[in-house]
A and B are shown apart, each in its own frame.
Chain A
Amino acid sequence: MARGEIIINDNNCRGCGYCQGFCKRGCIVMSEDKFTPLGYILPILADSDRCNACGVCGQMCPHFAIEVYKFIES
Protein backbone atom coordinates (compact mmCIF):
# COMPACT_ATOMS: atom_id res chain seq x y z
CA MET A 1 0.00 0.00 0.00
CA ALA A 2 1.53 3.27 -1.06
CA ARG A 3 2.54 5.58 1.79
CA GLY A 4 2.88 8.55 -0.52
CA GLU A 5 2.61 9.82 -4.05
CA ILE A 6 4.52 12.06 -6.43
CA ILE A 7 3.34 14.61 -8.99
CA ILE A 8 5.56 15.26 -12.00
CA ASN A 9 5.27 18.72 -13.53
CA ASP A 10 5.86 18.03 -17.19
CA ASN A 11 6.49 21.73 -17.91
CA ASN A 12 9.65 21.56 -15.80
CA CYS A 13 10.81 18.01 -16.50
CA ARG A 14 13.77 17.73 -18.88
CA GLY A 15 13.82 13.93 -19.12
CA CYS A 16 17.26 13.62 -17.45
CA GLY A 17 16.45 10.29 -15.82
CA TYR A 18 17.83 11.04 -12.35
CA CYS A 19 14.51 10.19 -10.67
CA GLN A 20 14.52 6.75 -12.23
CA GLY A 21 18.14 6.28 -11.13
CA PHE A 22 17.68 7.50 -7.55
CA CYS A 23 14.35 5.82 -6.69
CA LYS A 24 15.45 2.93 -4.48
CA ARG A 25 12.11 1.13 -4.95
CA GLY A 26 11.87 1.33 -8.74
CA CYS A 27 8.65 3.31 -8.62
CA ILE A 28 9.70 5.57 -11.52
CA VAL A 29 10.79 4.58 -15.03
CA MET A 30 11.41 6.64 -18.13
CA SER A 31 8.48 6.10 -20.49
CA GLU A 32 8.91 4.93 -24.05
CA ASP A 33 6.18 7.01 -25.59
CA LYS A 34 5.33 9.94 -23.33
CA PHE A 35 6.89 13.34 -23.84
CA THR A 36 6.89 16.73 -22.13
CA PRO A 37 5.48 19.73 -24.05
CA LEU A 38 9.08 20.53 -25.03
CA GLY A 39 9.63 16.99 -26.29
CA TYR A 40 11.67 15.52 -23.43
CA ILE A 41 11.01 11.91 -22.46
CA LEU A 42 8.64 11.87 -19.51
CA PRO A 43 9.14 9.57 -16.50
CA ILE A 44 6.09 7.64 -15.37
CA LEU A 45 5.07 5.83 -12.21
CA ALA A 46 5.80 2.14 -12.77
CA ASP A 47 4.82 0.95 -9.30
CA SER A 48 3.25 3.71 -7.22
CA ASP A 49 2.25 1.25 -4.52
CA ARG A 50 5.85 0.87 -3.38
CA CYS A 51 6.36 4.62 -2.91
CA ASN A 52 7.23 5.44 0.75
CA ALA A 53 7.39 9.22 0.20
CA CYS A 54 11.15 9.32 0.92
CA GLY A 55 11.37 12.44 -1.23
CA VAL A 56 14.75 11.62 -2.83
CA CYS A 57 13.40 11.86 -6.38
CA GLY A 58 12.11 15.37 -5.70
CA GLN A 59 15.28 16.41 -3.89
CA MET A 60 17.62 15.22 -6.63
CA CYS A 61 15.52 16.52 -9.53
CA PRO A 62 17.51 19.39 -11.08
CA HIS A 63 14.41 20.93 -12.63
CA PHE A 64 12.18 21.04 -9.55
CA ALA A 65 9.67 18.94 -11.50
CA ILE A 66 8.64 16.48 -8.76
CA GLU A 67 6.45 17.15 -5.72
CA VAL A 68 6.31 14.38 -3.12
CA TYR A 69 3.42 13.90 -0.72
CA LYS A 70 3.20 11.64 2.29
CA PHE A 71 -0.18 10.11 3.23
CA ILE A 72 -1.26 10.77 6.82
CA GLU A 73 -3.97 8.81 8.64
CA SER A 74 -6.55 11.53 9.47
Chain B
Amino acid sequence: MNKKKVCGNPKIWKDPPGAVMYCPGCQHPVIHRIISEVLEDMGIDGKAICVLGVGCHAFVQISWNLDILSSAHGRALDSATAVKRLNSDAIVFTVQGDGDCIGIGAGAFIGAMVRGEKITTIMYNNTNYGTTGGQLAPTTLLGQKTATTPHGRDAALEGYPVHTAELAATFKGTAYSARGSVHTPADYQRTKRYIKTAFQKQIDGVGFSFVEVLSACPPNWHLSPVKCLKRIGEDIVSEFPLGEFKNEDSTERLSKSK
Protein backbone atom coordinates (compact mmCIF):
# COMPACT_ATOMS: atom_id res chain seq x y z
CA MET B 1 0.00 0.00 0.00
CA ASN B 2 1.77 3.18 -1.02
CA LYS B 3 0.45 6.65 -0.65
CA LYS B 4 0.33 9.93 -2.56
CA LYS B 5 0.49 13.32 -0.88
CA VAL B 6 -2.70 15.25 -1.61
CA CYS B 7 -2.09 18.23 0.62
CA GLY B 8 1.10 19.75 2.02
CA ASN B 9 3.24 22.85 1.65
CA PRO B 10 2.69 24.60 -1.71
CA LYS B 11 5.54 24.05 -4.20
CA ILE B 12 6.64 27.68 -3.96
CA TRP B 13 6.74 27.59 -0.14
CA LYS B 14 10.30 27.83 1.15
CA ASP B 15 11.56 25.92 4.13
CA PRO B 16 11.90 26.85 7.11
CA PRO B 17 8.64 25.28 8.26
CA GLY B 18 5.35 26.90 7.31
CA ALA B 19 3.76 30.15 8.31
CA VAL B 20 5.44 30.46 11.68
CA MET B 21 4.97 34.20 11.81
CA TYR B 22 1.20 34.13 12.22
CA CYS B 23 -1.02 34.16 15.33
CA PRO B 24 -2.96 30.96 16.13
CA GLY B 25 -5.99 30.80 13.80
CA CYS B 26 -4.96 33.78 11.65
CA GLN B 27 -6.32 33.01 8.19
CA HIS B 28 -3.80 35.07 6.22
CA PRO B 29 -1.72 31.96 5.47
CA VAL B 30 -4.81 30.23 4.11
CA ILE B 31 -5.04 33.02 1.53
CA HIS B 32 -1.29 32.72 0.91
CA ARG B 33 -1.94 29.06 0.17
CA ILE B 34 -4.72 29.90 -2.31
CA ILE B 35 -2.47 32.38 -4.17
CA SER B 36 0.34 29.81 -4.22
CA GLU B 37 -2.00 27.19 -5.70
CA VAL B 38 -3.29 29.64 -8.34
CA LEU B 39 0.21 30.73 -9.37
CA GLU B 40 1.31 27.09 -9.62
CA ASP B 41 -1.84 25.93 -11.44
CA MET B 42 -1.48 28.77 -14.00
CA GLY B 43 2.27 28.18 -14.30
CA ILE B 44 3.07 31.87 -13.74
CA ASP B 45 5.00 31.81 -10.44
CA GLY B 46 8.32 31.91 -12.32
CA LYS B 47 7.56 35.22 -13.98
CA ALA B 48 5.62 36.73 -11.09
CA ILE B 49 6.77 39.80 -9.17
CA CYS B 50 4.86 40.26 -5.92
CA VAL B 51 4.65 43.71 -4.37
CA LEU B 52 3.75 43.54 -0.69
CA GLY B 53 2.26 46.26 1.43
CA VAL B 54 3.04 46.66 5.10
CA GLY B 55 1.09 44.57 7.60
CA CYS B 56 0.58 40.99 8.73
CA HIS B 57 0.21 39.85 5.11
CA ALA B 58 3.82 40.98 4.43
CA PHE B 59 5.32 38.23 6.59
CA VAL B 60 4.74 35.93 3.61
CA GLN B 61 8.00 37.27 2.16
CA ILE B 62 10.03 34.87 4.33
CA SER B 63 8.09 31.93 2.90
CA TRP B 64 7.32 32.54 -0.78
CA ASN B 65 9.96 31.49 -3.31
CA LEU B 66 9.00 34.41 -5.58
CA ASP B 67 10.63 37.73 -6.52
CA ILE B 68 9.17 40.04 -3.89
CA LEU B 69 9.23 43.80 -3.38
CA SER B 70 8.23 45.00 0.06
CA SER B 71 6.92 48.51 -0.58
CA ALA B 72 6.19 51.54 1.57
CA HIS B 73 2.99 51.36 3.63
CA GLY B 74 0.05 52.08 1.34
CA ARG B 75 2.17 52.43 -1.81
CA ALA B 76 2.33 48.87 -3.15
CA LEU B 77 0.18 49.80 -6.16
CA ASP B 78 2.38 52.81 -6.99
CA SER B 79 5.48 50.62 -6.99
CA ALA B 80 3.70 47.80 -8.81
CA THR B 81 2.55 50.27 -11.48
CA ALA B 82 6.12 51.10 -12.41
CA VAL B 83 7.22 47.45 -12.33
CA LYS B 84 4.40 46.46 -14.69
CA ARG B 85 4.84 49.44 -17.02
CA LEU B 86 8.57 48.81 -17.34
CA ASN B 87 8.37 45.01 -17.41
CA SER B 88 4.99 44.36 -18.98
CA ASP B 89 5.31 40.62 -19.54
CA ALA B 90 5.96 39.96 -15.86
CA ILE B 91 2.91 38.97 -13.81
CA VAL B 92 2.72 41.76 -11.26
CA PHE B 93 0.42 41.44 -8.25
CA THR B 94 0.09 43.22 -4.93
CA VAL B 95 -0.77 41.59 -1.62
CA GLN B 96 -2.05 44.15 0.85
CA GLY B 97 -4.08 44.46 4.00
CA ASP B 98 -7.31 46.43 4.34
CA GLY B 99 -5.56 49.28 6.15
CA ASP B 100 -2.66 49.25 3.67
CA CYS B 101 -4.87 49.19 0.57
CA ILE B 102 -7.92 51.33 1.39
CA GLY B 103 -6.65 53.14 4.47
CA ILE B 104 -3.30 54.84 3.91
CA GLY B 105 -3.14 53.43 0.35
CA ALA B 106 -6.45 54.79 -0.95
CA GLY B 107 -4.68 57.32 -3.18
CA ALA B 108 -2.49 54.68 -4.82
CA PHE B 109 -5.45 52.29 -5.06
CA ILE B 110 -7.64 54.82 -6.85
CA GLY B 111 -4.73 56.02 -9.01
CA ALA B 112 -4.10 52.48 -10.27
CA MET B 113 -7.80 51.92 -11.08
CA VAL B 114 -8.16 55.31 -12.77
CA ARG B 115 -5.23 54.30 -14.97
CA GLY B 116 -6.57 50.78 -15.45
CA GLU B 117 -3.18 49.27 -14.53
CA LYS B 118 -2.94 45.63 -15.65
CA ILE B 119 -2.12 44.54 -12.11
CA THR B 120 -3.86 42.09 -9.76
CA THR B 121 -4.45 43.13 -6.16
CA ILE B 122 -5.44 40.77 -3.36
CA MET B 123 -6.64 42.67 -0.28
CA TYR B 124 -6.73 40.69 2.97
CA ASN B 125 -9.59 42.12 5.03
CA ASN B 126 -9.44 41.33 8.78
CA THR B 127 -11.34 44.55 9.68
CA ASN B 128 -8.44 46.00 11.70
CA TYR B 129 -4.77 46.98 11.66
CA GLY B 130 -3.45 43.66 12.95
CA THR B 131 0.35 44.04 13.15
CA THR B 132 0.20 47.15 15.29
CA GLY B 133 -2.21 45.67 17.83
CA GLY B 134 -5.72 45.82 16.39
CA GLN B 135 -6.60 49.42 15.74
CA LEU B 136 -9.58 50.80 13.82
CA ALA B 137 -9.40 50.29 10.05
CA PRO B 138 -11.67 51.68 7.31
CA THR B 139 -13.24 48.20 7.19
CA THR B 140 -13.91 47.95 10.96
CA LEU B 141 -17.60 47.11 11.56
CA LEU B 142 -19.91 49.46 13.43
CA GLY B 143 -19.79 48.55 17.10
CA GLN B 144 -16.58 46.56 16.69
CA LYS B 145 -14.19 47.14 19.60
CA THR B 146 -10.60 47.89 18.55
CA ALA B 147 -7.53 49.32 20.25
CA THR B 148 -8.62 52.78 19.06
CA THR B 149 -12.37 52.33 19.35
CA PRO B 150 -12.52 50.87 22.89
CA HIS B 151 -16.30 51.37 23.06
CA GLY B 152 -16.93 50.04 19.58
CA ARG B 153 -16.86 51.88 16.25
CA ASP B 154 -19.35 54.74 16.42
CA ALA B 155 -20.57 56.07 13.06
CA ALA B 156 -20.84 59.59 14.49
CA LEU B 157 -17.11 59.59 15.22
CA GLU B 158 -15.50 57.01 12.96
CA GLY B 159 -17.87 56.82 10.03
CA TYR B 160 -18.84 53.62 8.23
CA PRO B 161 -17.12 50.41 7.00
CA VAL B 162 -15.80 50.89 3.43
CA HIS B 163 -16.88 48.43 0.70
CA THR B 164 -13.65 48.15 -1.27
CA ALA B 165 -14.68 45.50 -3.83
CA GLU B 166 -17.84 47.42 -4.70
CA LEU B 167 -15.79 50.64 -4.93
CA ALA B 168 -13.30 48.98 -7.30
CA ALA B 169 -16.16 47.86 -9.55
CA THR B 170 -17.16 51.50 -10.15
CA PHE B 171 -13.92 52.32 -12.00
CA LYS B 172 -13.87 51.88 -15.78
CA GLY B 173 -10.24 50.77 -15.46
CA THR B 174 -11.27 47.79 -13.32
CA ALA B 175 -11.83 44.60 -15.32
CA TYR B 176 -12.67 42.35 -12.36
CA SER B 177 -13.65 42.84 -8.74
CA ALA B 178 -14.85 40.27 -6.25
CA ARG B 179 -14.95 39.54 -2.54
CA GLY B 180 -14.38 36.07 -1.11
CA SER B 181 -13.65 34.50 2.24
CA VAL B 182 -12.00 31.37 3.62
CA HIS B 183 -14.23 30.67 6.60
CA THR B 184 -15.54 27.46 4.99
CA PRO B 185 -13.96 24.93 2.58
CA ALA B 186 -16.54 25.90 -0.05
CA ASP B 187 -15.57 29.57 0.29
CA TYR B 188 -11.91 28.51 -0.03
CA GLN B 189 -12.66 27.03 -3.46
CA ARG B 190 -14.83 29.99 -4.55
CA THR B 191 -12.12 32.49 -3.49
CA LYS B 192 -9.56 30.44 -5.40
CA ARG B 193 -11.73 30.71 -8.51
CA TYR B 194 -12.05 34.48 -8.04
CA ILE B 195 -8.27 34.88 -7.71
CA LYS B 196 -7.62 32.71 -10.75
CA THR B 197 -10.07 34.83 -12.77
CA ALA B 198 -8.36 37.98 -11.54
CA PHE B 199 -4.91 36.80 -12.70
CA GLN B 200 -6.43 35.79 -16.03
CA LYS B 201 -7.60 39.38 -16.56
CA GLN B 202 -3.99 40.50 -16.18
CA ILE B 203 -2.75 37.80 -18.55
CA ASP B 204 -5.41 38.83 -21.09
CA GLY B 205 -4.39 42.49 -20.60
CA VAL B 206 -7.96 43.64 -19.93
CA GLY B 207 -7.40 45.93 -16.92
CA PHE B 208 -7.09 46.11 -13.14
CA SER B 209 -8.24 43.05 -11.19
CA PHE B 210 -9.11 43.03 -7.50
CA VAL B 211 -10.10 40.36 -4.99
CA GLU B 212 -10.91 41.22 -1.36
CA VAL B 213 -10.71 38.23 0.98
CA LEU B 214 -12.13 38.22 4.51
CA SER B 215 -9.70 36.80 7.05
CA ALA B 216 -10.06 35.81 10.71
CA CYS B 217 -7.93 37.68 13.28
CA PRO B 218 -8.47 35.94 16.64
CA PRO B 219 -6.25 38.06 18.93
CA ASN B 220 -7.58 41.40 17.71
CA TRP B 221 -11.20 40.25 17.51
CA HIS B 222 -10.84 38.87 21.07
CA LEU B 223 -12.45 35.60 19.91
CA SER B 224 -11.27 32.03 19.68
CA PRO B 225 -10.31 30.99 16.13
CA VAL B 226 -13.45 28.88 15.61
CA LYS B 227 -15.68 31.70 16.92
CA CYS B 228 -14.00 34.06 14.45
CA LEU B 229 -15.21 31.87 11.59
CA LYS B 230 -18.73 32.05 13.05
CA ARG B 231 -18.41 35.86 13.22
CA ILE B 232 -17.35 35.99 9.56
CA GLY B 233 -20.29 33.80 8.53
CA GLU B 234 -22.77 35.97 10.40
CA ASP B 235 -21.78 39.58 11.07
CA ILE B 236 -19.03 40.25 8.55
CA VAL B 237 -20.58 38.65 5.49
CA SER B 238 -23.80 40.54 6.12
CA GLU B 239 -21.80 43.81 6.06
CA PHE B 240 -19.44 42.65 3.30
CA PRO B 241 -21.42 40.40 0.92
CA LEU B 242 -19.40 37.81 -1.02
CA GLY B 243 -19.48 37.57 -4.82
CA GLU B 244 -18.31 39.11 -8.06
CA PHE B 245 -19.04 42.82 -8.58
CA LYS B 246 -17.51 43.32 -12.02
CA ASN B 247 -16.28 40.92 -14.67
CA GLU B 248 -15.42 42.32 -18.09
CA ASP B 249 -13.52 40.47 -20.80
CA SER B 250 -12.22 43.23 -23.05
CA THR B 251 -10.90 46.77 -22.84
CA GLU B 252 -13.56 47.85 -25.37
CA ARG B 253 -16.27 46.78 -22.95
CA LEU B 254 -14.43 48.56 -20.17
CA SER B 255 -14.64 51.89 -21.94
CA LYS B 256 -18.39 51.38 -22.43
CA SER B 257 -19.06 50.05 -18.90
CA LYS B 258 -21.02 52.33 -16.60
Contact = CB atoms under 8 A, between A and B. Distances in A.
Direct contact of A and B (CB under 8 A): yes
Interface of A: 4-5, 9, 11-12, 14-18, 21-22, 40, 53, 55-74
A16 B33 CA distance: 17
B30 A21 contact: no
A17 B182 contact: no
Given A60-B185, A65-B18, A55 B2 contact: no
A5 B224 contact: no
Contact of B3 (A11, A60, A72): A72
B20 to A, nearest CB: 7
Contacts of B20: 12, 63
Contacts, number: 99
28 contacts: A4-B6, A5-B3, A12-B18, A12-B19, A12-B20, A14-B22, A17-B226, A21-B226, A58-B8, A59-B188, A60-B182, A62-B19, A62-B24, A63-B18, A64-B9, A64-B17, A66-B7, A68-B5, A68-B6, A69-B5, A69-B6, A71-B3, A72-B1, A72-B2, A72-B3, A72-B4, A73-B1, A74-B2
A14 B7 contact: no
A5 B5 CA distance: 9
B75 interface: no
Report, as a range, how many residues of chain B touch the other chain: 20 to 34
A64 B225 CA distance: 16
Contacts of B27: 62
B34 to A, nearest CB: 9
Contacts of A12: 17-20
B1 A74 contact: yes
The 8 closest A-B pairs by CB, nearest first: A64-B18, A58-B7, A16-B25, A14-B24, A55-B7, A69-B3, A16-B225, A68-B7
B28 interface: yes
B218 interface: yes
B138 to A, nearest CB: 24
